[in-house]
Chain A
Amino acid sequence: MPIRRWARSSAAVLALPVLTAYLFFVMSRSVDVLEDNWLSATVLVSSAAVLAAGPVCGAAGAWEGARLARGGVDGAAAVRSRAAILAWSLLPILVAALVAMLGGLALAGVAMAGVPGLPDPLVLAVALLVIVAWTLAGFAAGRHLHPLVGVPLLLVGTWLWLAYPAALETFWVRHLTGDNLGFCCETDAVYDQRALYAQAVVAVCLAGAAYLFWSRRRGARLAWAGIAGLPLLAMAVAFPLVRDMGPEAQVPRTSGLACGRSDGVEVCVWREREKQLGTTALIAVPAARRLATGTGQPAPRRVTEGPADGADSWRFAAPPGARPDDVLFGLATGLLPAEPPVCGPGWSGADAYGPLSAWLALTAGAGQDAVERRTGPESLGAARRVLGRPPAAQVRWFRHNLDALRRCDVSPSEVTLP
């Protein structure tokens, strides 16, 4: 068949504008709030592409599958393999999905202008795999279902599978779909590869089962065994990967730092923020020294946006647009425990968090207005009262209340105004 006629007769001609409009609609709400890293942009594009192209390509597959069935592919004498027949019908739909995805990448590229890095090819590849799987599922359904039923069934069914798990309290289901909730990751986190592998496994097994279902011949027991076995295999492999995962598929980032030295202290920022390294060091290093003096701790040898132990290395964050007070506040509160201890009811240690944060931020050099905005006037008042004392008394107050935040048997002291 001539190429133009072949392309024009495909359902992809109708699918392309629909899924492109859908993709840009899904992306438009999030592209302005992207993090300053390419992974977040890649996940947004892949998520929007899967959510838009999955149902539409599934429906287009159901249409094309029904066309092939109507054309008598099952019963006619074979001049080419079934895989080749399927590929020629599948190709225009996948090209449409790819074009839409590239458009999404171009939009993300504009939003990420100036941010070093590239889209994550693995995330995009898994998204394409998911789209292929649902398109093949559409072909399999189209072999037996009339388009009047197959097209809406695939459109709504695929959309439900992709969108509904986000509303479930059972978190592992959402990591299998490929939708990825449209968001991952902040710059200090990376995508949890377990979710990616699980999605790939589910997509490959779905694609395999769908292909077997579409291409099986009458009485082919091996094909039926595959159709029944592949979903079980998918669950057996994918479920253990995502079983223990939380609501979001991200884990702390450990690599990709750009470091420099300032006044004897090593300062590290994420490589995406390397241009701000000098400015950040001028804020963070003196603040770290003030904090070390104020809290009676040894000065850190390293202040970093990456992993830190709280002793030799301290953690801070300097995202784009952050003001000096924000950087100081992050550095100061980085000295506090990230999570409260597991105590029974009646634990009052949390009352110390606000005053301690305010005192640390003021000690680091943050402005009073910024501290008040973040901790509230009561915490600021308590912190200012403590700051009026001799340094040794301040250190005692800090250590006691730090203990109250870490332990269940210590109560906070002087954290409220009289």
Chain B
Amino acid sequence: MRTWLRVHRAAQVCVALALTAGLVAAAGDVLVPVPRPTLDDLAGVPVALVAPLVASSVLVRGALAGGGSLEAVAVRPVLAYRTGLVALTCALSLVMAVVETVPYGAAAARNLVGFTGLAALAALWRRDAATAAPAAYLVAAMLLGRPGAGSWWDWPVEPSPHPATWVVPAACLGLGLAAPALPRLMPRRHRR
């Protein structure tokens, strides 16, 4: 297990998570200006909503590290380990958001879940470009989203942790984690 944790960069994931939590606590409410379609529409995105992208990237990098062919034939349940690492880290971020009540803490935890879920889904298509998907989604939400308007899709820039904004991130993470396990749960065909 220790070797697996080392190969999958568990220490780096912990450090990234701690640094992100520190950044959210220290400067999470700092607004970064973003361009909008009209000059009158001045808007900014809190740093707390953007910072989880880096922590999510480190987490996904850790989860997808390791020799794919070696792990495919491993005796140990490495897929469960990987799913556990991602789920545990996301759960930890939620616990931190609940315990450490800082502005945008819950929204930051939601974004970590959502970014990780999007990356997990994108990894089904291409593993080495998985984190480009949440990054592109974040930029699109920053440019086109309307925080506070109640849209279901622009959750990355929604400062409020309203339950409705959790639907897509939670669904992405659930699907992203479940999808690799589905083929193993299917009944196997025996070759003749």
Taking beta carbons and an 8 Å cutoff, which residues of A are in contact with B? 18, 22, 25-26, 28-30, 33, 51, 55, 59, 63, 146-149, 151-153, 155-156, 159-160, 163-164, 166-167, 182
Known contacts A25-B35, A25-B143; A148/B130 CB under 8 A: yes
Select the residue from A26, A55, A152, A153 with max chain B CB neighbours within 10 A: A152
* Closest residue on chain A to residue B136 by CB atoms: A18
Known contacts A18-B136, A149-B61; A26/B128 CB under 8 A: no
Q: Which of A148, A151, A164, A167 contacts B64 (CB 8 A)?
A: A148
Query: Does the CB pair A152–B36 fall under 8 Å?
Result: no
In the docked arrangement, what's the CA distance between A160 and B53, Å? 13
Query: Does the CB pair B39–A148 fall under 8 Å?
Result: no
Query: Does the CB pair A156–B50 fall under 8 Å?
Result: yes
Query: Does the CB pair B32–A164 fall under 8 Å?
Result: yes
Query: Does the CB pair B36–A153 fall under 8 Å?
Result: no
CB neighbours (8 Å) of A164 from chain B are: 30, 32-33
In the docked arrangement, what's the CA distance between A33 and B34, Å? 19
Query: Does the CB pair A51–B131 fall under 8 Å?
Result: no
Q: How far is the CB of A178 from chain B (nearest CB, A)?
A: 15
Query: Does the CB pair B37–A29 fall under 8 Å?
Result: yes
Q: Does B58 contact A (CB under 8 A)?
A: yes
Query: Does the CB pair A152–B32 fall under 8 Å?
Result: no
Query: Does the CB pair A148–B57 fall under 8 Å?
Result: yes
Q: Which 10 A-B pairs have the closest CB atoms?
A: A152-B135, A148-B61, A152-B57, A26-B35, A164-B32, A149-B57, A152-B131, A148-B131, A155-B135, A149-B61
Q: Does B98 contact A (CB under 8 A)?
A: no
CB neighbours (8 Å) of A156 from chain B are: 50, 53-54, 135, 138
Known contacts A148-B61, A156-B50; A30/B39 CB under 8 A: yes
In the docked arrangement, what's the CA distance between A151 and B44, Å? 23
Starting from the known contacts A153-B57, A167-B44, 4 additional A-B residue pairs (CB-CB under 8 Å) come to A22-B143, A29-B39, A148-B60, A167-B33
In the docked arrangement, what's the CA distance between A26 and B44, Å? 15
Q: Does B134 contact A (CB under 8 A)?
A: yes
* Closest residue on chain A to residue B40 by CB atoms: A29
In the docked arrangement, what's the CA distance between A273 and B132, Å? 48
In the docked arrangement, what's the CA distance between A252 and B31, Å? 32
Q: Which of A59, A149, A167, A182 contacts B31 (CB 8 A)?
A: A167
Q: How far is the CB of A17 from chain B (nearest CB, A)?
A: 11
Known contacts A148-B57, A148-B61; A155/B139 CB under 8 A: yes
Q: Does B75 contact A (CB under 8 A)?
A: no
Select the residue from A33, A63, A156, A164 with max chain B CB neighbours within 10 A: A156
* Closest residue on chain A to residue B144 by CB atoms: A25
Q: Interface digits, B14-57 against A, CB 8 Å rule (1 contact, 0 not)? A: 00000000000000001111111111000010010010011011
Q: Does B129 contact A (CB under 8 A)?
A: yes
In the docked arrangement, what's the CA distance between A65 and B131, Å? 16
Known contacts A156-B54, A163-B32, A167-B32; A149/B131 CB under 8 A: yes
CB neighbours (8 Å) of B139 from chain A are: 22, 55, 155, 159
Q: How far is the CB of A415 from chain B (nearest CB, A)?
A: 34
Known contacts A29-B36, A33-B39; A152/B143 CB under 8 A: no
Query: Does the CB pair B135–A147 fall under 8 Å?
Result: no
In the docked arrangement, what's the CA distance between A33 and B44, Å? 22
Query: Does the CB pair B35–A29 fall under 8 Å?
Result: yes
